[in-house]
Amino acid sequence: MLFRFLLLLLICAPSALSAAPYQAMVVAAQKSAAEAGMAMLEKSGNAFDAAAATALALGVVEPGSSGIGGGGFFLLYIAREDRYVMIDARETSPKLAGNGEVFEQQSSIDGPQSAGVPGLAAGVDHLIETYGRLNRNVITQPAIDLASNGFAVGPRLRSMLEWRSSAFSDMARTTFLAGDTIRQPALADTLRRFARGGRDDFYRGETAGRLVADMKRDGGLIRESDLATYRVIEREPIIFDYRGFQFVSAALPSSGGMTLANVFGQLQDDNLKVLNQSDRIHLLVEAMKRAYRDRNAHMGDSDFVEIPDLLNPKRLQQQRAGIRMEHATPSSEIGNSSDAIGPGTDTTHFSVIDAEGNMVSATLSINYAFGSGYLSPSTGILLNDEMDDFATRPGKPNAFGLVQGSANAVAPGKRMLSSMTPTFVIGPDRTFIVGTPGGSRIISMVLLASLGFMLDETAAAEWVNAPRYHHQFLPDEIQHEQGAFNPDVANELQKRGHKLKLMKRRYGNMHAILIERETGKLTGIPDARGEGVAIRQE
C-alpha cells in the first residue's frame, strides 16, 4: 500500500525532466551576449558553458548592470542527475568595512569604498570547471572580443549613462563617455588573464595585485586577504509547492525564494482563479506586505545569523488569517519595525536551456546602475556598490531614508542580503525559467510572472510584459507601472485603504523561457521594456 502511494507520488510529482529532446535557447538582455552563449552550444557545449559565456559577455556589453566586478546567483538544473543547485557568487564584505562604521562618513553607493569583494569571476570559473564541457579560453573569448573591439551604445545604456555618470571615477568617464562605441582594452586584458588563470589569477594572481593596488591608492577597502579568502558556495535552492506547481528558487543570502514561499504559503488555500481583479490584487498585495516585512526584519546571510522559522505553515496561516478582504492592513499594524530595503536599481537576468534539458536561471548584479561608478584603472574592472544592500547602519536611515534590521548588518566576510530571484516553476506539463533585475521589486515581478504562468489566462508574452505592481511593507503604498490597474480596480483598491503610487518609469527587464515538456516546444520571452532577445539553436 505504502509502495503504491509512493509510486503515485512519483508519477504525479512535477519533474523538470522531459520525454522530448529540446532545441536549445538563450534569452538575455543583449543580443551579442545571447549570441556568445549560443556560440558555446554550437561548439557542443552545454547550458552551463553557454551561461558562463553569456555572463562574461553581459558584463562587457551591459556594463551598467553586471560584470566581473560584481556577483550573482546561478540556479542550475542538471538533467542527467535530476538535481537543482544554486551557485552563490554573491559579494562579501571586506574586512576593513568592520561593522559598517565607515559608512557613517562615507557613501555606500558611490566610490570604491562601496564595493564588496566581487564573486562573479569565481562563480563563472566554478560553473565551467564543475558543470561545463568547454575550455575556459573558448568560453571567455566572446567577452574578450567585445571588450577589445568595442560595441555600440544603445538607447538603454545611453539613458543609464546620463543618469549615473555624475558618480563616475576619471577612468570610468574616459571609458564609458568616449562616444558612440565603448571599448574596454584594460578589461580585455583582465579577461585574457582570467581565460588563462581563472579564479587563481583573479583572486591571488596578477589581477588581484593590480586591483588591490588601485584600491589602496583610491580609497577602496578590498585587500589581498579579502580576495584570497573569497569562496563560491553551492547551496540547496528553496523548493516549495503551490497548488500543483513546484517552485525552485534562490536561497539565502538571496531573500527571493523565501519571500516567494512566504507569499504562496499564505495563499495555499486561496483559489486566485475565481477571484475578481480587485480581490485578487488586494489579497496578493496584503500577502506581499507581510512577506516583505519578514524579509526586511529577519533575513540576512544565514552563515552569520540565525534565521527564524519564517515559513512555518502555522505561522503563514496566521498571517493569512490577519488579512481582511474589505480593508488594507496598514503596515504599522503588521509590525512596529520600520524595516525597509534599499532600492537597488540595476542588475541583469538571463535564461538558458540546452538539448539535454539542462537549465540555467541566472541573475547577476553590480547593484546600482554602473555600481560604485569606480573603474579600477589597471584592470578595467568596474566595481559594484553592493555594500549598500547591507543595512549599513541598522536602526538608522541609509542614504535613502530607509532603515533595515540587524540580521543584515555589515560584518567582515558576510554576504549582503539580496533580492535576486532566479527561479524555475515546474507545472504538470510545462516549466517556466524566470528572473529579472529590479532591486527589491525583483521578487514581486517574479511572483506576478509566475502567477501568469500558473493561472494561464493570457498569452505567455503578457506574463512578462503586463504592467507591474509591488508592495514591500514600507513605504506603505502599492507602487505600480502605468496601466497596472483599470480605473474601477484603482478606485476599489483606494476604497479599501490602499495608497497607489505611480512609478515614473517602467521597471524590470525579465528574460524567461516557457518549456512544453511533452513536445519540447520552447517559447523565449524577452521583456519588451528592454533590448533583450531570445536565440534558438537551429
CA 287 remoteness from chain centre:
21
90 assigned to a ligand binding site: yes
389 assigned to a ligand binding site: yes
- Comparing CB distances to ligand GLY, the nearer of 46 and 249 is 249
93 assigned to a ligand binding site: no
Does a cis peptide bond (omega within 30 degrees of 0) precede residue 308? no
For this structure, is 347 an active site residue? Answer: yes
Question: Does 92 interact with ligand GLY (rule: CB under 6 A)?
Answer: no
| DSSP β-bridge partners for residue 523 | 514
In the complex, least distance from residue 90 CB atom to ligand GLY, rounded to whole angstroms = 8
- Counting beta carbons within 10 angstroms of the beta carbon of residue 118, is it exposed (0 to 12), middle (13 to 18) or buried (19 or more)? buried
Three cell numbers written together for 471: 508592495
Question: Does 392 interact with ligand GLY (rule: CB under 6 A)?
Answer: no
Which of 439, 452, 526, 530: binder of ligand GLY (CB under 6 A)? Answer: 439
Q: Give residue 470's identity as a one-letter amino acid code.
A: H
CA distance from start to end of the chain: 48
Q: Give residue 14's identity as a one-letter amino acid code.
A: P
65 assigned to a ligand binding site: no
366 assigned to a ligand binding site: yes
Question: Does 419 interact with ligand GLY (rule: CB under 6 A)?
Answer: yes
Nearest alpha-carbon partner for 346 in 367, 315, 377 = 367
In the complex, least distance from residue 171 CB atom to ligand GLY, rounded to whole angstroms = 23
Size of the site for ligand GLY (CB under 6 A): 10
Question: Does 344 interact with ligand GLY (rule: CB under 6 A)?
Answer: yes
- Comparing CB distances to ligand GLY, the nearer of 293 and 295 is 295
- Comparing CB distances to ligand GLY, the nearer of 240 and 368 is 368
Question: Does 418 interact with ligand GLY (rule: CB under 6 A)?
Answer: yes
User: In the β-sheet with 359-365, what is the strand arrangement from edge to edge?
Assistant: 233-235, 83-89, 71-78, 359-365, 348-353, 25-28, 533-536
Alpha helix (H) residue ranges in 17-90 = 31-42, 47-61
d(CA 404, CA 110) in angstroms, rounded, equals 20
Q: What are the backbone angles phi and psi of residue 228, rounded to the nearest 5°?
A: -65, -30
Segment contacting ligand GLY (CB under 6 A): 121-129, 312-320, 412-420, 530-538?
412-420
Segment contacting ligand GLY (CB under 6 A): 27-35, 220-228, 415-423, 488-496?
415-423
Does a cis peptide bond (omega within 30 degrees of 0) precede residue 94? no
Question: Does 431 interact with ligand GLY (rule: CB under 6 A)?
Answer: no
Segment contacting ligand GLY (CB under 6 A): 145-153, 276-284, 305-313, 414-422?
414-422
Question: Does 69 interact with ligand GLY (rule: CB under 6 A)?
Answer: no
In contact, 267 and 374? CB cutoff 8 Å:
no
- Comparing CB distances to ligand GLY, the nearer of 361 and 419 is 419
In the complex, least distance from residue 346 CB atom to ligand GLY, rounded to whole angstroms = 8
- Comparing CB distances to ligand GLY, the nearer of 232 and 420 is 420
d(CA 245, CA 263) in angstroms, rounded, equals 14
| DSSP β-bridge partners for residue 534 | 27
- Comparing CB distances to ligand GLY, the nearer of 116 and 132 is 116
- Comparing CB distances to ligand GLY, the nearer of 190 and 367 is 367
x/- map, 364-383, ligand GLY, by CB under 6 A: -x-x----------------
| DSSP β-bridge partners for residue 500 | 478
Sequence-distant (≥ 6) Cβ neighbours of residue 63 within 8 angstroms: 157, 176, 182, 184, 370, 382
Segment contacting ligand GLY (CB under 6 A): 223-231, 270-278, 392-400, 417-425?
417-425
CA 510 remoteness from chain centre:
10
DSSP 3-state assignment of 189?
helix
Three cell numbers written together for 380: 578595467
Question: Does 347 interact with ligand GLY (rule: CB under 6 A)?
Answer: yes
Which of 35, 226, 286, 389: binder of ligand GLY (CB under 6 A)? Answer: 389
- Comparing CB distances to ligand GLY, the nearer of 86 and 146 is 86
In the complex, least distance from residue 67 CB atom to ligand GLY, rounded to whole angstroms = 13
Nearest alpha-carbon partner for 503 in 532, 463, 467 = 467
408 assigned to a ligand binding site: no
Question: Does 32 interact with ligand GLY (rule: CB under 6 A)?
Answer: no
d(CA 108, CA 533) in angstroms, rounded, equals 33
498: left (phi over 0), alpha (psi -120 to 50) or beta: beta
In the complex, least distance from residue 305 CB atom to ligand GLY, rounded to whole angstroms = 17
x/- map, 148-187, ligand GLY, by CB under 6 A: ----------------------------------------
Catalytic residue among 92, 140, 347, 379: 347
- 83-89 and 71-78 strand pairing: antiparallel
Residues flagged as binding site for L-glutamate: 90, 365-367, 389, 418-419, 439
Residues that bind ligand GLY (CB under 6 A): 344, 347, 365, 367, 386, 389, 418-420, 439
Task: Report, as residue numbers or ranges, the catalytic residues.
Answer: 347
